[in-house]
Each structure stands twice: as C-alpha cells, then as structure tokens.
Amino acid sequence: MTPTAPDIGLWQLGLGLIFILIAGFASLAHGLKLGRDLAVGTLRTFAQLFLMGYVLVYVFSLQNMWLTLGMFTVMVAFAARIILARLKKEPVSLAWPLFLSMLASYSMVSLLVTAVIVEAVPWWRPEIFIPLSGMVVGNSMTALAVSLERLFSDLRGQRSEIEAMLCLGADSAEASRSVTRRAMSAGMIPSINSMMGVGLVFIPGMMTGQILAGQDPQQAVRYQIVVMLMLVGSTAVSALIMVRLAVRRVFGKAWNLSALDSRK
C-alpha cells in the first residue's frame, strides 16, 4: 500500500498561526498597517475552507449533476464579485458581462478537461469537476483583475494619443489596439511564467496534493501538466473576451472616451 501523508490535528493546525504572527510582527515593525487585513484574512481562511470541506462532503455523497453545476456557478459569481470590488472606481458597469463571460469561458474549459482529456464518467463527477474548475476560476480570476486594471490605467494614461487617432479616422478597435494587447499580456504573463518554472523552481499544488495523498508521481505529473495548460487557455480566453467587452463599453456608440470622466 502506498504511504499517505500524516493527518493534521487541530493542535498542529493551530501551530500554523505562527506564520501569521511572524507576518504581523513584520507589519508592525515596518508600519505597514496590515494587521487588520491579516486578522480578517486568517479568519476568513479558516471559516471558508472549513465550510467548503463540509459542503464538499455533502456534494460528493449526493453525486447530483445540478448540485455540482450550481456550486460551480456560485464559485464563478463570487469570483466576479471579487474582481468588481477591485474595479469599483471604474466608470463603466461590467457586472453582467463579466459574470456571463466568465461562466461561458470557464464552463468550456472545465468541460473540455473533465469530459475529453480526463474522461471522467460522468463528466460532471463532483470530486473531479469541482477541484479542476475551481483552479480554473481562481487562477483566471486573478488574471482578469490584472488585465482590466491595466486596461483602464492605460486608457487614462494614453487618452490624448487615443483621441488623436480617433480624430484622424481610426475606429475604437484600432485606436485602442496597443492598450488592449498590453492588458491581455499583463493577465497572461503570470500563467506563462508559472509554466517556465514548474518542476524546477516549485512543485505546484495539484501535484503536491496528489503525491501527499499517495498517488503515483507519474500520474500526478500528468494531471499537473493538464492543469497548467488549461490555466493558460482559460486565462487567454477570459482575458480576450472581457478586455474587448470593456473597451466597447468605455468607448460606447460615440467612439469617444467621455465615459472615463464619469463615476458611479
């Protein structure tokens, strides 16, 4: 029988708070004022992950497709909410376009991985679909936030150049092409950098978890390769869709940047 990782008791789990205390002392010593964020983040980590553990036990035991897909939809909705919180000062409304584009692109990638590559039977098998789709949502969420923040920042920084191109006859797509490219690149670079260092600089989470669970390292490697590839693909698709939608909303029908002057 393949040995598995030792269980972690509540006492050992509590010892992990030492790392938060170290971070807290560093924040205090350098006046970073991160103590409240560290405390709230720690409490949310414990509460959300313990809650997720109980929910997953329930979902896995029922083996219900609609419950699995419903949980996936909730994950996407919360991811969209986190992105919108980072963009709350922006003048255009992206709530529904963001949620629907994330739901469509992440569903496509997750379905392709579980049904075609992994060949899970059924394709929505919760113990496979939820962890894999969760990685897609989590990683692509960060990339989308970076892309959109970069997009709005560059639109403001290069407003005069873009408006000059519009006056010379360029349409909104042509005038914003360089800004759009940089925004998409900013979101995709972290995933590409991870591919460069995986296996040499670090052993990623999916592979680590399977090895600790006693899985054959060669199978763990194959799963991790699939995960790395799907993360790059989901990041590219979601960034492409959302950046283009955001550009269209900023320019509007009049093809100008007057929307940047307004605030919600």
One domain, residues 136 and 151? yes
pLDDT of amino acid 92: 77
Tell me, yes or no, whether 47 lies in a domain. yes
Tell me, yes or no, whether 29 lies in a domain. yes
One domain, residues 21 and 94? no
Tell me, yes or no, whether 51 lies in a domain. yes
Residues 87-134 have pLDDT tens digits of 877 777 788 889 999 999 999 999 999 999 999 999 999 999 999 999
Residues 128-163 have pLDDT tens digits of 999 999 999 988 898 899 999 999 888 888 888 888
One domain, residues 41 and 119? no
One domain, residues 137 and 52? no
CA distance 26 to 11: 24
Tell me, yes or no, whether 3 lies in a domain. no
> Domain limits at 227?
63-261
Residues 197-255 have pLDDT tens digits of 887 777 777 777 777 777 788 888 888 888 889 989 999 898 889 998 888 888 766 55
CA distance 15 to 117: 40
Number of domains in the chain: 2
